[in-house]
Amino acid sequence: MVISNTLLKASLEAGKGFFRQPVQQDAQRSGAALDAQPVMVPIRSIGPGHRERIAVHLMALGQSDRYLRFGYAASDEQISRYVEGLNFERDEIFGIYNRKLQLLAMAHLAFSISPELQSGAEFGVSVLAKARCRGYGSRLFDRAVMHARNEGVDMMLIHALSENAAMLNIARKAGARIERIGSESEAFLKLPLANLDSRMTEMVEEQMAQTDYHFKVQAKKFRDFVATLQDARRST
Ligand SMILES: CC(C)(COP(=O)(O)OP(=O)(O)OC[C@H]1O[C@@H](n2cnc3c(N)ncnc32)[C@H](O)[C@@H]1OP(=O)(O)O)[C@@H](O)C(=O)NCCC(=O)NCCS
């Protein structure tokens, strides 16, 4: 009983982590002050069945964004190789989808394979240009930190170009130590130990994101079906 009460409390508390601080898109576009209202961003752990969507997402990045993401202006071929090489069993890939099931933002949390740094992980992220400044980058970062923590990682590394103000801003705000080495920077974030709250929060977030995604899949199927009916009606 004590355990179930503790779990219930933790799961209710866990919801708090699911709501990021507000970025109201309309207000943002108009430059108006942002109201403090929570906005839900379902972030889902994605598997190998989504390789194609990941490739489409990365190939939609312009040259300068590819440069910021990979440290070089990756060609489509290099992106294809990167996507093919993703190890979904070892690493974790997180995604944010819109209602058309387009991958708007994704993060790759790569666990260290170095024997000297067994409890380390590297974070990489990209957000489509049209979906920037909505807090997606920050939310993916928070999600990756939570997962890494729960997996026993104690140090997260973010490799970024020194000109990458947005990425370094996200890392700095999380408390990372940033070392600048000329045109490149490395941010090191020490992670706290996992606890019941971090484990419950991740479980609840993942469950809600999976439900949201399946709802989007069903809604898209329904919209496609209606569109087919309308096309058939028009052509008769
Ligand atoms: C870096 C990137 C992921 C940020 O995504 P985003 O969803 O726009 O980021 P957020 O909306 O969460 O904003 C994060 C912070 O950076 C700030 N920021 C966003 N764009 C910025 C810019 N161009 N210059 C300076 N600061 C910026 C935001 O104001 C926010 O700060 P705040 O929390 O103090 O308001 C996105 O710009 C991107 O995909 N860039 C190309 C790939 C890349 O650089 N990846 C990182 C290297 S792995």
What digits encode the pLDDT tens for the residues 89-111?
999 999 999 999 999 999 999 99
Residue pLDDT, tens place only, 224-236: 889 888 888 888 7
Which regions of 134-226 does DSSP assign to beta strands (E)?
155-161, 177-181, 184-190
Determine the distance separating the centroid of ligand 1 and the alpha carbon of 176, expressed in angstroms.
15
Q: Residue 34: CB within 6 Å of ligand 1?
A: no
Does ligand 1 come within 6 angstroms of the Cβ of 20? no
Torsion from C-alpha of 226, 211, 61, 108, nearest 10 degrees = -160
Q: Is residue 180 part of a domain?
A: yes
Q: Is residue 135 domain-resident? A: yes
Domain-embedded: residue 19: yes
Residue 32 lies in a domain: no
Tokens of 24: 């109201």
The CATH number linked to 226 is: 3.40.630.30
User: 74 CB under 6 A from ligand 1?
Assistant: no
Q: Is residue 80 part of a domain?
A: yes
Is position 236 within any domain? no
- What confidence category does residue 39 fall into, taking pLDDT thresholds of 50, 70 and 90? low
Atom of ligand 1 nearest to the CA of 133: 11
Residue 33 lies in a domain: no
d(CA 228, ligand 1 centre) in Å: 39
* Domain around 138: 2-23+39-231
Q: At what angle do helices 51-59 and 76-84 cross, to 10 degrees?
A: 150
Q: Does 106 sit in the ligand 1 pocket, CB within 6 Å?
A: no
Other C-beta atoms lying within 10 Å of the C-beta of residue 125? 22
Number of domains in the chain: 1
Look at residue 28 and tell me if it is in a domain: no
Cα torsion 205, 211, 213, 219: sign:
negative
